[in-house]
Amino acid sequence: MKIAIFADLHGRLLLAFKLVERYQQETGHTIDLILQCGDVGIFPELEHLDRATLRHANRDRSELGFHDFFVNPHPKVEAVLENLACDMVCVRGNHEDHEFLDQLETVHPNVSLFPVDCYQRVLVCKSGHTQCIETQGGAINFVGIGRIGDQKNRNHPPFIQPYERQAIRQTIRERPSIDVLISHDVPVDMTDPGYGMKELRPVLNELRPAFHFYGHTGKPYSNVLDHNRVTRSIKVAELEYKRKEILEGGVMMILTIEDEEAPTLETVEAPWMKEYTKSNWLYID
């Protein structure tokens, strides 16, 4: 089973799908699933943009990619998705339309994954729930934890909510075997004193997944051993161009899980990645 990993897209869902399509073309390997670490940029209504997203969108329209390409069918997206069998499974970031996502969670009370786009190919997983996804290429067990932590225990929508904390505690009590933890935030104190989400540490210490992927911090790609001495903790770089014309390293990972083999992780740094520049990526077929 091959799984593509991305972090902060900030509206560039189509770019992520394009990169997966190109990876398949270049390598001959099929991607079975995409996991994404939050800040998808899920804003179906532009009136609900937060200040940061609005500010960035004034400089770069691609910040509005969910609204432009994933609310109503669009030929550019359809052409890419026709060549892909994989769905994208995300956690919430802090830059999403949480009111919209809350409504969808309410509509889907008995499932741990719910679709958010018109193609039914982008799904958000509820925080703290164990996910088991089976594809033709294999299966993966993981837990997703969205939003961000807050040392002041505020309950505004970008911050983790009480019902999500409860779900995390319940999952820890059940002690499932998981391969991966995906989150938007970083464990508290891991990168900077007082910064991060305190709810992540018990999951890492008790469930001890092989990999933890996260985004949010704005720091570059890194791959280090977690404090639990088992988990590889990977900061996935944002799928953004920032002040550069080309993507920085570490924006796309490929996790391979095979029966009776240790999982392997590849950082995609192929020369063809540089073809997808800030100016032209939308127009590359």
pLDDT at 192: 82
- CA torsion angle for 117, 114, 238, 97 (degrees, to 10)? 70
Question: What integer is the mean pLDDT of 243-259?
Answer: 92
Q: What digits encode the pLDDT tens for the residues 160-170?
A: 999 999 999 99
Tally of domains within the chain: 1
pLDDT at 194: 80
Q: What digits encode the pLDDT tens for the residues 167-196?
A: 999 999 999 999 999 999 999 988 888 889
The CATH number of residue 65's host domain is 3.60.21.10
pLDDT at 75: 96
**62-71, 82-91, 152-161, 213-222: least confidently modelled range:** 152-161
Antiparallel, parallel or unpaired: β 130-135 and 138-145: antiparallel
Which pTM does this prediction carry?
Answer: 0.96
Q: What digits encode the pLDDT tens for the residues 10-51?
A: 999 999 999 999 999 999 999 999 999 999 999 999 999 999
**pLDDT exceeds 90 at position 127:** yes
Domain, as residue range, for 156: 2-283
The Cα–Cα gap between 178 and 119 comes to 28
